[in-house]
Amino acid sequence: MKAAIIGSGIGGMATAIRLASLGFETHVFEQNSFYGGKINSKQLGAYRFDRGPSVFTEPHLIDELLQLNASERINFDYNKLPISCCYFFEDGTKVSLPSGSDAVAEALSNELGENRSKVLKFLERLEKNYNAVYPVFIKVSLHRVGHWLNSNIFKAIKRLPFYGLFSTMNGVNTSTFNNKKTVQIFNRFATYNGSDPYKSPGMFNIIAHLELNVGPFMPKGGMVAISDAVYKKAVEMGVDFHFNTRVEEIMHEKGRVTGIKHKRGILNCDLVTSNMDVHFTYEKLLPAFTGPSKVLSQEKSTSAIVFYWGIKKSFDALDVHNIFFSETYEDEFNQLFVKKTLIDDPTVYIHISSKVEKEDAPLGCENWFVMINAPVDDGQDWEVQKKRVRANILKKLGRILNQDIEPLIEEEENLDPVMMQRMYSGKNGSIYGNASNSTMASFYRHPNFSSSLKGLYFAGVTVHPGGGIPLALNSAAIVQRCVQNDFSIR
Ligand SMILES: Cc1cc2nc3c(=O)[nH]c(=O)nc-3n(C[C@H](O)[C@H](O)[C@H](O)COP(=O)(O)OP(=O)(O)OC[C@H]3O[C@@H](n4cnc5c(N)ncnc54)[C@H](O)[C@@H]3O)c2cc1C
């Protein structure tokens, strides 16, 4: 049997490996000349940059994928980072948060005056919530009763009072911590799926568990090493990649998928998995087909503006991950989601892989990936916005680091929501599909299969279970299980 995958993002390539392992002749069609989707890298002069994701959690999901039908070992190494993130506040406070619950509690108690045992108790609650929710909401399809109806559901139900279902993330965090700065640190995890902590349900605090209790990791060779290893594995499994080949239509007959039409021709096949934004899958590839309007019309997640700066200086005060917080955090989200614009004092994230990957920048220099959350494209003039925001970022960093940054920039490039839509086909440049800004948000994500078109599946961050690399990897595993059920493969 033949399978076509539309898109070589991490969710597409993981699905390809999994379908190949079931015996499908598997073809991946990618519109770009490179694999990995948003996990790709760029060289600017002597500096190397990861262009998309920078925070890597749950590396065991990649290990598991690389071990499927293990033959040749594919090199993929990573290290846990001792500091998960350095937080900078406008009043000069700096908090370097390690990972591991004891160390986090110690740091928050010493630096921000939090009650140590209260922090520990909260982190333990997040871990228990995560472990209860994972097997019934994240690892399996929410839309197939057989997947989640087992003894695990009772464990998840038992923890209902602890999820914070009827409060927002900010509500839960405000009632837990004394210091506004701690609340801001915990609220920040809503941005990991492009959402607003003042609207996102308290349940989403579980995202913090992965970074604070377990810790972030850094792949040897940078984030692009993830794409490289997964691509290599797919090729080893016999997956056929077709680059520069945009898929233009999903063909179907009598309620069943029959193949795809692409830029260079047609592939008849038994199943299609779309790793393309689900919104565009319907709009562009199935124009005569009505998609689930409720799901597709949900508010979209944030986009981003990224500046890639080669900096001819090294900063001891900075680590691999750094956040420079806005003083008006709630207003920042209001502007992003309601006014669809940017505040003058945005929260700035700086990732510097060269802190651990020395060859990513010349000696004594650093590769700064400088990102702010941005609204989705709504016709804003992004050239004007980028000019304004660049000046504001430089002012903010200059103020806090006590150093004029602009003269230190010797290489530069940027990315904005329109470029993001063009490069990766995310609806209006949104990074994670639907935002999770309501209690029911998780239930309004598209399932990993189509209930109207047999043989059509979906993997990637715009469908269940959600945004980020680990969830895209889970979506691929869910597709595999659905395909096994539907095609009676054991
Ligand atoms: C700036 C930025 C920072 C991020 N930071 C993090 C982070 O720190 N940690 C984290 O876990 N996640 C992060 N993310 C999100 C992360 O990149 C995504 O979760 C993940 O990489 C998306 O994988 P995906 O499988 O959904 O596919 P994508 O990477 O979106 O890839 C989809 C692929 O489909 C292709 N395609 C689309 N339409 C067609 C078509 N018609 N025909 C052929 N090909 C097509 C596209 O070209 C693309 O290659 C970030 C994203 C961005 C942009």
19 burial via Cβ count (<10 Å: 0-12, 13-18, 19+)? buried
- CATH number 3.50.50.60 is the correct assignment for the domain at 2-40+60-65+221-297+435-486: yes
pLDDT tens digits for range 176-192: 999 999 999 999 999 99
Residue 382 has pLDDT above 90, yes or no: yes
Residue 358 has pLDDT above 90, yes or no: yes
Average pLDDT over residues 480-486: 97
pLDDT tens digits for range 303-328: 999 999 999 999 999 999 999 999 99
> Does residue 226's CB lie within 6 angstroms of at least one atom of ligand 1?
no
Least confident range of 120-124, 158-162, 350-354, 446-450: 158-162
Least confident range of 31-45, 188-202, 283-297: 283-297
Helices and strands (H and E) in the chain: how many: 16, 19
> Does residue 431's CB lie within 6 angstroms of at least one atom of ligand 1?
yes
> Does residue 473's CB lie within 6 angstroms of at least one atom of ligand 1?
no
> What integer pLDDT is reported at residue 56 of this predicted model?
98
Q: Any residues with CB less than 8 A from the CB of 333 and at least 6 apart, and which?
A: 196, 197, 198, 199
Identify the residue whose tokens are 């709630």. 330
> Does residue 31's CB lie within 6 angstroms of at least one atom of ligand 1?
yes
Q: Which of these, 345, 243, 284, 267, lies nearest to 32 by C-alpha position?
A: 243
| Confidence band of 443 (pLDDT split at 50, 70, 90) | confident
Ligand 1: which atom is nearest the Cα of residue 248?
A: 41
> Does residue 207's CB lie within 6 angstroms of at least one atom of ligand 1?
no
Name the average pLDDT for the chain: 96
Residues of CATH 3.50.50.60 domain(s) within the chain?
Answer: 2-40+60-65+221-297+435-486
Burial 258-280 (b: 16+ CB within 10 A, else e): ebbebeeeebebbbbbbbbbbbb
* Contact of 267 with 260, CB cutoff 8 Å: yes
Ligand 1: which atom is nearest the Cα of residue 284?
A: 41
Cis amide leading into 407 (omega within 30): no
Residue 69 has pLDDT above 90, yes or no: no
Q: Report the C-alpha gap between 269 and 455 in whole angstroms.
A: 9
Q: Which helix (H) or strand (E) holds 372?
A: strand 366-374
Residue 71 has pLDDT above 80, yes or no: no
Q: What is the DSSP string of 225-252?
A: HHHHHHHHHHHHTTPEEETT--EEEEEE
Identify the residue whose tokens are 């914070």. 164
Q: Which helix (H) or strand (E) holds 103?
A: helix 101-112
> Does residue 39's CB lie within 6 angstroms of at least one atom of ligand 1?
yes
Residue 441 has pLDDT above 90, yes or no: no
> What integer pLDDT is reported at residue 440 of this predicted model?
82
Going from the Cα of 404 to the center of ligand 1, the distance in angstroms, rounded, reads 34
Q: What is the DSSP string of 421-477?
A: HHHH--GGG-SSSB---STTGGGGSBPSB-SSSBTEEE-STTBTT-SSHHHHHHHHH
> What integer pLDDT is reported at residue 149 of this predicted model?
82
> What integer pLDDT is reported at residue 433 of this predicted model?
92
| Confidence band of 157 (pLDDT split at 50, 70, 90) | very high
> Does residue 231's CB lie within 6 angstroms of at least one atom of ligand 1?
no
Q: Which of these, 180, 225, 223, 189, lies nearest to 207 by C-alpha position?
A: 189
> Does residue 424's CB lie within 6 angstroms of at least one atom of ligand 1?
yes
> What integer pLDDT is reported at residue 252 of this predicted model?
97
pLDDT tens digits for range 413-434: 999 999 999 999 999 999 999 9
CA 380-169-351 angle, to 5 degrees, is 60
> What integer pLDDT is reported at residue 73 of this predicted model?
80
Q: For a pocket test of ligand 1, which of 38, 241, 308, 348 has the largest count of ligand atoms closer than 8 A to its C-beta? A: 38
Question: What are 323's strand-pairing partners?
Answer: 87, 349
385 burial via Cβ count (<10 Å: 0-12, 13-18, 19+)? middle
Going from the Cα of 52 to the center of ligand 1, the distance in angstroms, rounded, reads 8
CA 419-421-422 angle, to 5 degrees, is 60
> Does residue 216's CB lie within 6 angstroms of at least one atom of ligand 1?
no
- Measured between alpha carbons, how far is residue 333 from residues 94, 159, 301, 370 in Å? 23, 29, 11, 19
